[in-house]
Amino acid sequence: MLIALLAIAVGLILLVWSADRFVEGSAVTAGYFGMPPLLIGMVVVGFGTSAPEMVVSALAASQGNPGLALGNAYGSNITNIALILGITALMAPIAVHSQVMRKELPILTLVTLFAVWQLLDGTLSTLDAAVLLGVFFALIGWSIWSGMRTPDDPMATEVSAELETHAMPIRKALFWLAAGLVLLIISSRILVWGAVDLATAFGVGDLIIGLTIVAVGTSLPELASSIIAARKGEHDLALGNILGSNLFNTLAVVGIAGLITPISVADEVLIRDLPVMAGLTLALFVLGYGFRGPGRINRLEGAALLAVFVGYTTYLLITNF
What rounded mean pLDDT belongs to the chain? 81
Please check the confidence at residue 163 and state whether its pLDDT lies above 60: no
> Which secondary structure element, helix H or strand E, spans residue 296, and what is its range?
strand 295-297
Question: Average pLDDT of 199-220?
Answer: 81
Name, in order, each residue with C-beta under 8 angstroms of 310's C-beta and a sequence gap of 6 or more.
none
Q: Quote the pLDDT of residue 185.
A: 79
Please check the confidence at residue 242 and state whether its pLDDT lies above 70: yes
Q: Quote the pLDDT of residue 44.
A: 65
- Most confident of the ranges 129-138, 143-152, 208-217, 218-227: 129-138
Please check the confidence at residue 151 and state whether its pLDDT lies above 70: no
Q: Quote the pLDDT of residue 45.
A: 62
Q: How far apart are CA 311 and CA 216, in angstroms?
A: 15
DSSP letters of 20-75? HHHHHHHHHHHHHTT--HHHIIIIIIHHHHTHHHHHHHHHHHHTT-HHHHHHHHHH
Sign of CA pseudo-dihedral 296, 220, 249, 37: positive
User: Looking at the whole model, is its pTM more than 0.85?
Assistant: no
Q: Quote the pLDDT of residue 256.
A: 93
Cβ contact 62:261 at 8 Å: yes
Residue 50 or residue 243, greater confidence: 243
- CATH superfamily of domain region 2-320: NCX, central ion-binding region (1.20.1420.30)
Residues in the chain: 321
How many beta carbons lie within 10 A of that of residue 294, not counting itself? 13
Residue in 255, 26, 28, 237 with CA at minimum distance from that of residue 138: 255
Q: Quote the pLDDT of residue 270.
A: 93
> What's the pLDDT band for 95 if we cut at 50, 70, 90?
confident
> What's the pLDDT band for 134 if we cut at 50, 70, 90?
very high
Please check the confidence at residue 164 and state whether its pLDDT lies above 70: no
Relative orientation angle of helices 2-32 and 154-164, to the nearest 10 degrees: 100
> What's the pLDDT band for 103 if we cut at 50, 70, 90?
confident
pLDDT in tens, 23-52: 777 777 777 776 665 566 556 666 666 777
3-state secondary structure 112-153: HHHHHHHCCCCEECHHHHHHHHHHHHHHHHHHHHHHHHCCCC
